[in-house]
Amino acid sequence: MFMTRPPLQYWCAAAAELAAWRKWKVRWSRSTVEQEYRHWTVSLAAPVMAIAPDGTLFHSTVGAVRQENWKAIIDAVHDDIGVERNDRVLEVGAGDGTNVRELAARGPEFRWHGLDLVPRHRGILPGDAMALPFRDRACAAVVTYNALEQMRGAVVAEAWSEFATSGRL
């Protein structure tokens, strides 16, 4: 939540992202996703424009932004959700495994697993977020990072449903 009104540059960036997302959603299909993401990998050294909590844009790298977010995810899993030592945590939309590997390095007390419709690393399980390959309650927490906006509406609806019942998303 912004304490003050975000600057115009924030709204322009947000509008551009929303327009790109809507265009992508129109042509979504499993084959489109597989074709688009088959060889995609994360470059942590890549430059990126990031948005500060006050809404201003700043230059950074993918790695620097993700390091802050990985710490926030670990803190949330441990402190806010209360996941205990050796509990399983699943990252949905794990792609090339960058996030789940870094989360496991920073939060070794948890058992991290990754799942992706188009896995691009041998340690990532193939699967759909709507048909998780785990029995109910097998995972103490499910996280996603830079992937929820790429998932079908049913996945997002299920996530919001879980949020409504548990108060956590």
Q: CATH number for the domain including 60?
A: 3.40.50
> Is 34 a member of any domain?
yes
Give me the mean pLDDT over the 42-50 stretch: 87
Which residues lie below 8 Å from residue 39, measured CB to CB, with a gap of 6+? 120
The pLDDT tens digits of the residues spanning 121-164 come to 888 999 888 888 888 888 888 888 877 767 777 777 776 666 55
Question: How far is Cα 130 from Cα 108, in angstroms, rounded to an integer?
Answer: 27
The pLDDT tens digits of the residues spanning 10-42 come to 566 666 666 665 665 555 666 777 777 777 778
- pTM, two decimals, is 0.73
Cβ 114 vs Cβ 125: under 8 Å: yes
pLDDT at 42: 80
Please say if the pLDDT value at position 83 is more than 70.
yes
Give me the mean pLDDT over the 89-115 stretch: 93
Query: DSSP label at 151?
Result: S
Q: Where are the alpha helices (DSSP H) in the chain?
A: 8-26, 30-37, 62-75, 98-106, 153-166
Give me the mean pLDDT over the 48-60 stretch: 84
> Is 2 a member of any domain?
no
Give the number of domains in the chain.
Answer: 1
> Is 1 a member of any domain?
no
> Is 3 a member of any domain?
no
Could you tell me the residue range of the domain that residue 108 belongs to? 8-166
How many Å is the Cα radius of gyration of the chain?
17
Q: Is 124 exposed, middle or buried (0-12, 13-18, 19+ CB in 10 A)?
A: buried
Task: Report how many helices (DSSP H) and strands (DSSP E) the chain contains, helices first.
Answer: 5, 6
